[in-house]
Amino acid sequence: MICPECSAIIEKDSQKCPFCGCVLVRQQDTHKNNGEYAAPSKKKEHNVETGIYKLICVAMGLCLIAGSVVWASLLLRDRIDSPTKDNAVRQTAYDDDQQAGNLENEDADKPQTTAAPKKTTTQTTTTTANPFTAAVAPKYTDDYGSMYSSVDSLAIRIGPGYDYTSLEEGIPSGTQLFISAEQIDARSGETWCYIDYNGNAGWVCKSYLSDKNPTTAVVMPDELYDSSDVTSVTVTRYGGLKLYSGPGEDYDVLAVIPEDEEIEKLGYNYFSVKWIYTEYNGQPGWVVSYEGDWFNPTVE
C-alpha cells in the first residue's frame, strides 16, 4: 500500500505511516478506492468578519440613494424649465400674430402649442465713405478776437485738421480774420480756428496766424551769415515756437512755428546771442534758441 501523503510503500493493514506519521483511515466506499486507506480530508475554515460586509453594503446603499436623488432632481428641473421656456416662446409668437392681425378666428385666445418661434435676421451695412469730406461746424461759438494770416494763400479747410478737404480760395497774407471757435486736432496736435472769409466758413491752422499784422517792421540783425555758413535747426519746443518781429518777447508775435519744423539760422545780434534771425513761410523774424536754460533748448 502507498501512503497518500509521502508516497512511501507501507504494509497493507497499517493504520499509521511509519515514515511521515500520517493516520490512515479506511474509506467506506470500497468500489472507488478498493478498500485502501487515505488521509483524512482537512476542512478549511474561513473566518470572515461579518461587520466589514455590512459596512460595505451600507455604503453602497447610501451611494445608490444619493445618485438616485441627484438624477431625480435634474430630471425634475428640466421638466419644470421646459414648459416655462416653451410657453414664453409660444406667447411671443402669439403676441406677434395678434399685433399683425394674423389670427383667423376668435377661438385662438391661447397660443398654439405647435407654433414655432419666428426667426429674425439682422443686416449689417458697412459704409466706406470718407469722413473727412463732410463739413464740420463747431459745437459752440464765441468771440475769440481777431488774428492775421501770416502766409500767402492760407488754406481754408472744411474741418479742424489737415485731413479735411480745403476750399479753392486761399487767404492772402496780412488778412484780418475774426475767430468764432477753436478746436484741437488730436492727430496733429494743432489748434484750428473757425473763421468766415468772403462768405466761406471753415477752419484755418492757428500756427499760420499772427496776433499782429505781418507787415510790422522786423528788426534787422547785426550780422547775416554767409550762404556757406547758414545752418538748419529743428524746433523742439512742445506746442511750437513763436516768431517775433525783434530779438525779445516784447516784440510783436508774427507766427507760431510748429514743433519739428526745420528753420535756418540766417543772422544774429551781438548782445542777443540766444536769439536767432530766421524766416518762416516767407516771413522773417526772430526765435529764441533757449529760455535761460541750456538743458531745455527750444531748437536743436
Q: C-alpha cell of 96?
A: 406677434
Percentage with pLDDT > 70 across the chain = 71
Instruction: Write the CA distances from 264 to 6, 79, 143, 166, 224, integer angstroms.
Output: 126, 85, 36, 29, 12
Q: How many residues does the chain have?
A: 300
Q: Name the residue type at position 9.
A: I
Encode burial over 44-60: b for 16+ CB neighbours within 10 A, e otherwise. eeeeeeeeeeeeeeeee
Tell whether the model's pLDDT for residue 289 goes beyond 80.
yes
Q: Which is it for strands 262-265 and 209-210: parallel, antiparallel or unpaired?
A: unpaired
Answer yes or no: is pLDDT of 112 > 70: no
Separation CA 97–CA 111 (nearest Å): 9
Give the tens place of pLDDT for each residue, 19-32: 787 777 654 444 44
Identify the weakest region by mean pLDDT among 83-87, 196-200, 232-236, 251-255. 83-87
Does 14 have pLDDT greater than 80?
no
In Å, how far from its chain's centre is CA 98? 44
- Mean pLDDT (whole number) for 209-223: 81
Evaluate whether 17 touches 6 at the Cβ level (below 8 Å). yes
Q: Could you identify the residue written with the cell 453594503?
A: 57
Decide: 178 and 247 in contact? Cβ < 8 Å.
no
Beta bridge mates, 262: 234
Pairing of strands 283-288, 200-205: unpaired
User: Of the given ranges (1-5, 101-105, 142-146), which has the lowest mean pLDDT?
Assistant: 101-105
Q: What is the largest CA-CA distance in the chain?
A: 157
| pLDDT 10s digits, 172-188 | 888 889 999 999 998 88
Judged against a pLDDT cut of 80, whether residue 48 lies above it is answered with no
pLDDT of residue 31: 43
Which pLDDT value is given to residue 277? 92
The per-residue pLDDT for 38 is 46
Predicted pLDDT of residue 125: 56
pLDDT exceeds 50 at position 43 = no
Instruction: Name the grid cell of 6.
Output: 509521502
Work out whether strand 181-184 and strand 176-178 pair parallel, antiparallel, or are unpaired: unpaired
The rounded distance, in Å, linking the Cα atoms of 195 and 137 is 11
- Per-residue pLDDT at 123: 60
pLDDT score of 131 more than 70? yes
Domains and CATH numbers, the chain: 1-40 (no CATH), 132-210 (2.30.30.40), 223-288 (2.30.30.40)
Note the pTM of the prediction, 2 decimals: 0.36
pLDDT of residue 78: 67
- The pLDDT assigned to 150 comes to 78
